[in-house]
Structure 1
Amino acid sequence: MVSVSGSEFHQELLFAFGGGDRNIIVAVLDGAVDRTHDCFVGAPLTPLDTAVMQRSGEDAPPSAQGTHLASLIFGQPCRSVEGIAPLCRGLIAPIFSEDRPLCAQADLADAMTRALDHGAQVILIGAGSFEQPWYPDRMLARVITRCNAGNVLIITIPGRHGCSTLLRSCGAANLLSVGALDGAGHLLEDLDDNSVELGIAAPGESVSGAALEGRVVQRSNPNVAAALVAGAAALLLSVQRSAGLSVNPAAVAEAIRMTATPQGTTVGSASLATWTGRKSLEAAAAYLTGRYEGIYASSLFEAWYRARAGATRSDHAAFRPRA
């Protein structure tokens, strides 16, 4: 059984493959992000004017959840929160707002369309309340067809707070549902009735990320695990580019599934397929490229960082070079 905390998983993935590639684009569909947080200084983020933002207005407050998720991927080196793909470009496409936490299918389709228009290769959809019934309207079905045609990877969570059931009913071909494990290897949410939706599980307990008003907090939920896997997917797309391969999100999704390790905890009658840390990422990179070479997995900055991994966060914030 896996015994890895979410914070350990997060730290294991930091600075892998040099932090990603500016040509890789990840869209975060959740709430608005507080881009004034220090961790986003220098981050290549683009806010999108979704239908939700148009209704909420320019003065709409940022979301604590959206800010936390974005920081796990795009938090810059040497800041209060460090993301696992800080060099990749991010699109912030709000689908939830403080005055309307329910995401309508039309709003989801609008945000996904805008993300595709801006070149998103990975779309992370946060947890929340989604409009029912669980059959798609034509607008959402069309955007999923476009995702399939463009080979875009969609990452979300299974269960009642995710939209994986809805997206599967739309025919999403490249969909990865991510469950979250606690430190003992048990799912944070009961998925007995939704085991078919679970693609992989990853540690998602007590992971530090950005909060409103410049704070840093720990969160434990499937959203956290999904964000870390989305960042890892961005890193693997970067590996494809560095290896001279075509960027292929579907191949990345397959590599993530194929390198997940069955664990003792079960969902229904099946053992969980789990990512536990750096070795999972390295195995997926080897699966994609057909070989493993140390140059894929490290950079000078990372080697320097790893040599001081025993220091406290406050210590290495003081002596690490500015990116």
Structure 2
Amino acid sequence: MVRVAGADFQKEVLFALGGGDSQINIAVLDGPVDRTHDCFRGARLVPLDTAAAEGSDGRATAQGTHIASLIFGQPCSSVEGVAPLCRGLIAPIFSDDRLDCSQAELAQAITIALDHGAHIIQISGGLFGGPRQPTAELLDAVARCNADNALIVAGAGRDGCGSLLRRCGATNLLPVGAIDQHGRLIDGGDASLHEIGIAVPGANLIGAAPQGGIDSRRGANYAAALIAGIAGLLLGTQRQTGRTLDPGAAVEAMLSTATPRVAARAYECHRAWIGLANVEAAAVRLNDGMYDTATGTPFQLWHRAQTSAKWSDHAAFRPRA
């Protein structure tokens, strides 16, 4: 049994690995984001012009704002995210007046995110209209993801797009499920177990709401946001240790350090991250043991940590007392 609540997991990983790197770009493909929320003050957010760029504080904006805050919420604000120092590319695919997204619109958002240098693309589940088979536009967009070595993190479940993207030939694809404190899938049902790469506690996750509010939500979309943020942290450690960014290697490190679960029943998840120890183990594995998770410093660069310019962002990130 997991015995870890979503809010506890969220709190434990908040200050992991120094809070991220400003050279790592995480794209959020969800609803519009209320960037006036106080948690985004100082965040490196770049709004991208997509077909669903306008928001009116409706359902899609509420979800997009919550998900963005889980990743980019700033330290000591009302909502703190897991990767506040990473650069956020906001590419809405859902609108408040239309909660579905065509394959052409999804392909456009992916392409625009890649044009702006996305290393990680987080795609929430929703209603994806059009034929069941991939369209030419989406096939081309996914092929470019593969060519650019970008990672796609997708919410797994009944409305997830993981199966669609896999049929498109996505090579760096990580479908994420949400589990409760007993290891049971929160949504998606046992039929989607084979679609899930990894799962995290995804109940009662605290995030931003439009017009300065705060609320709690649950489900695979929000679990995927946490994993997208953590993937950004892991890529940041690669950059700090002088390695070439490799999202595929980051996925392998995440999967290999997941906590194995022996399922007594079909609805229990087999592979999960349940705490900070998983995050730190992935960082060490990804960097061949050359990353000190206690100090957030590469072993071979420890003597330059106080003077090197590329550490300035990390020096500014300090947990609250």
Normalized against structure 1, the TM-score is what? 0.88
**Contact 1:282-1:297 within 8 A present in 2 as well:** no
Residue 315 of structure 1 corresponds to which residue in structure 2? none
Counterpart residue type for residue 250 of structure 1: G
Deviates more, 1:187-196 or 1:222-231: 187-196
Once the two structures are superposed, residues 79-125 of structure 1 have per-residue CA deviations (whole angstroms, 9 ceiling, x without a partner) of 00001100000000000001211110000000000000000000000
Cα distance in structure 2, aligned partners of 1:170 and 1:29:
18
Residue 307 of structure 2 corresponds to which residue in structure 1? none
Which runs of structure 2 are paired with 1:1-323 in the superposition (5 Å)? 1-53=1-53, 63-265=61-263, 268=266, 272-291=270-289, 292-293=291-292, 294-296=294-296, 305=320, 308=321
Cα distance in structure 1, aligned partners of 2:268 and 2:3:
19
For structure 1, list consecutive stretches of 5 or more residues without a partner in the other structure.
309-323
Cα distance in structure 1, aligned partners of 2:75 and 2:315:
14
Counterpart residue type for residue 148 of structure 1: N
Cα distance in structure 2, aligned partners of 1:38 and 1:157:
26
**Contact 2:32-2:65 within 8 A present in 1 as well:** yes
Residue 308 of structure 2 corresponds to which residue in structure 1? none
RMSD: 2.1
Cα distance in structure 2, aligned partners of 1:263 and 1:300:
37
**Contact 1:192-1:267 within 8 A present in 2 as well:** no
**CA 1:50/1:266 → structure 2, altered by over 3 Å: closer, same or farther?**
farther
SS in structure 2 at match of 1:50: coil
Once the two structures are superposed, residues 108-167 of structure 1 have per-residue CA deviations (whole angstroms, 9 ceiling, x without a partner) of 000000000000000000121111432111010001000011111000122221100110
Cα distance in structure 2, aligned partners of 1:249 and 1:115:
16
Once the two structures are superposed, residues 44-87 of structure 1 have per-residue CA deviations (whole angstroms, 9 ceiling, x without a partner) of 0000001233xx5x878670000000000000011000011000
SS in structure 1 at match of 2:152: strand
Counterpart residue type for residue 49 of structure 2: D
Cα distance in structure 2, aligned partners of 1:267 and 1:211:
36
Cα distance in structure 2, aligned partners of 1:230 and 1:81:
17
Cα distance in structure 1, aligned partners of 2:137 and 2:86:
29
**Contact 1:154-1:175 within 8 A present in 2 as well:** yes
Cα distance in structure 2, aligned partners of 1:186 and 1:269:
6
**CA 1:112/1:104 → structure 2, altered by over 3 Å: closer, same or farther?**
same
SS in structure 2 at match of 1:240: helix
Cα distance in structure 2, aligned partners of 1:49 and 1:190:
31
SS in structure 2 at match of 1:234: helix
SS in structure 2 at match of 1:78: coil
Once the two structures are superposed, residues 162-213 of structure 1 have per-residue CA deviations (whole angstroms, 9 ceiling, x without a partner) of 1001101100111000000112221102432222211011011001100011
For structure 2, list consecutive stretches of 5 or more residues without a partner in the other structure.
299-313
Cα distance in structure 2, aligned partners of 1:113 and 1:287:
31
Counterpart residue type for residue 187 of structure 1: L
**CA 1:50/1:273 → structure 2, altered by over 3 Å: closer, same or farther?**
same
Counterpart residue type for residue 29 of structure 2: L
**CA 1:302/1:92 → structure 2, altered by over 3 Å: closer, same or farther?**
closer
Cα distance in structure 2, aligned partners of 1:297 and 1:181:
32
Deviation of residue 261 (structure 1)? 1.2
**Contact 1:191-1:267 within 8 A present in 2 as well:** no
Cα distance in structure 2, aligned partners of 1:223 and 1:290:
31
The share of aligned pairs that are identical, in percent, is: 51
**CA 1:295/1:75 → structure 2, altered by over 3 Å: closer, same or farther?**
same
**Contact 1:68-1:211 within 8 A present in 2 as well:** yes
**Contact 1:24-1:89 within 8 A present in 2 as well:** yes
Cα distance in structure 2, aligned partners of 1:107 and 1:267:
39
Counterpart residue type for residue 126 of structure 1: S
Deviation of residue 267 (structure 1)? 7.3
Q: Which runs of 4+ in 1 moved over 4 A?
A: 58-62, 266-271, 297-304
**CA 1:279/1:33 → structure 2, altered by over 3 Å: closer, same or farther?**
same
Counterpart residue type for residue 36 of structure 2: T
Deviates more, 1:220-229 or 1:258-267: 258-267
SS in structure 1 at match of 2:178: strand
